[in-house]
Amino acid sequence: MKQAAIKNKIQTNYDIPSDWTVMPLGTLGSFSKGKGILKEQVISDGLPCIRYGEIYTTHDFIIKEFKSFISDDVAAESKEIENGDILFAGSGETIEEIGKAVAYIGSEKAYAGGDVIILSTKKDVNPECLSYALETDFVKRQKRVLGQGNSVVHIYPSDLSKVKIILPPLPEQKNIAQVLSTADAAIHTNEKLIAQKELRKKWLMQQLLTGKKRLKGFGEEWKENKLEYFIKEYKQKPTGVDNYEVLTSAKSGLMKQTDYYGDNRITNRDDADYNVIPPNYLTYRSRSDDGLFTFNKNDLGITGLISGYYPVFTIKNGDLDFILMYMNYYKQKLTKYAIGTSQLVLAMNSLKEAKFVLPEHEEQAAIARVLQSADKEISLLKLTAEKLREKKKGLMQKLLTGKIRIK
């Protein structure tokens, strides 16, 4: 690659090479819309299809394989897509994600459902390069302006046709697509490895947390105990308004409320509604809408506050990390100790009454080390994946603005 020779400046707010063109999407082909394909019409085998939600959740830039299928009868009422088509999500939950696009470069007969906008490109456009170009900051800013709605955001073919796109000559489009596809392949390989490691960890949990598989050196029979044998409730209310960080329970675990909400101020705080949670203590939300109770450890290294709905406890007998993994693995079983109908409530006293069959402390610690090692492998791979995505994002911005040219 070599640095681009910059000769002209246009309304993109940066310079582009003189042999590149800025044009509306409407000049690159014709727009149409997908039809039908309800969720209940999707089957496990049949003719491949894509629904608008899958553009967000399943496909990235290029459709490599279909995950959904429909019958011949449903296909007859739907819209067929062809090689070279660009598929846009016509609806989304946020302005940021509206109009996400993927390219279809396959040859098999496939179909697009409702709320999918289709751009059938001309032969002098490389659909892969176009798909990447549609995710540059220059284009995303335009799509954000065009998105309409509040709770659900929509974008329409007439809007997309006006979106300006920057493209190099066709040979360079193909070269850019090849470079970015190689970057995508590296990301895909890494993600497959993550999926394999996660499956292996799931298998390890199924074997080790049930006693089906025993680690070398352990053969003593597991014993049934109430959880009150292992856990010790921690009841402390805060003193002073600003002595502690307020914590929030997220999918990834406990985190500072200011980090979660992106706000340096906590307003309307009443310390009476909080419990103190020291480092390495455990907690869970005692009220559950989905019928499952998830346990988290305060691994932030600080003493914090957590909502009064979250009882706090520590482990008095046994290995803390094992008990945490064990209770999360068997959280479905805990629902029988809860009360309520539409919302289940699992009080600390009820949690203590729950009976489980567990190994002795030494075996608990050994099992925890094995599962933590598997977790560490997955975390490192996810960190690598994030770095690969950031590297590709930077490459996209440079290649698709002409800041770097491919020889």
Whether pLDDT at 390 is above 90: yes
CATH number of this structure's domain 1-20+168-217+360-407: 1.10.287.1120
Query: How many other CB atoms are there within 10 angstroms of residue 259's CB atom?
Result: 14
24-166 and 223-358: identical CATH topology: yes
User: pLDDT tens digits for 302-335?
Assistant: 999 999 999 999 999 999 999 999 999 998 899 8
The dihedrals phi and psi of 192, each to the nearest 5 degrees, come to -65, -40
Q: Given the DSSP bridges, would you call strands 304-307 and 274-277 parallel, antiparallel or unpaired?
A: antiparallel
CATH fold of 24-166, please? Adenine-n6-DNA-methyltransferase TaqI; Chain A, domain 2 (3.90.220)
pLDDT tens per residue across span 121-168: 988 899 999 999 998 888 888 888 887 766 678 888 998 999 999 999
Confidence tier at 12 by pLDDT (50, 70, 90): low
Q: Nearest-CA neighbor of 350 among 335, 368, 366?
A: 335
d(CA 61, CA 402): 20
Q: How confident is the model at residue 361 (pLDDT cuts 50, 70, 90)?
A: very high
Between CA 387 and CA 375 the distance in angstroms is: 19
Q: Is domain 223-358 given the CATH code 3.30.43.10 in the classification?
A: no
Query: Can you read off the two tokens belonging to residue 134?
Result: 């549609």
Residue that is written with structure tokens 């994946």 in the block: 385
Judged by DSSP in three states, 121 sits in: strand
Q: What is the overall mean pLDDT for the chain?
A: 88
DSSP 362-402: HHHHHHHHHHHHHHHHHHHHHHHHHHHHHHHHHHHHHHTTT
Tell me the helices (H) and strands (E) count for the chain, helix number first.
11, 29
Q: What span, in angstroms and rounded, lies between the C-alpha atoms of 254 and 236?
A: 18
Domain-by-domain residue ranges, the chain?
Answer: 1-20+168-217+360-407, 24-166, 223-358
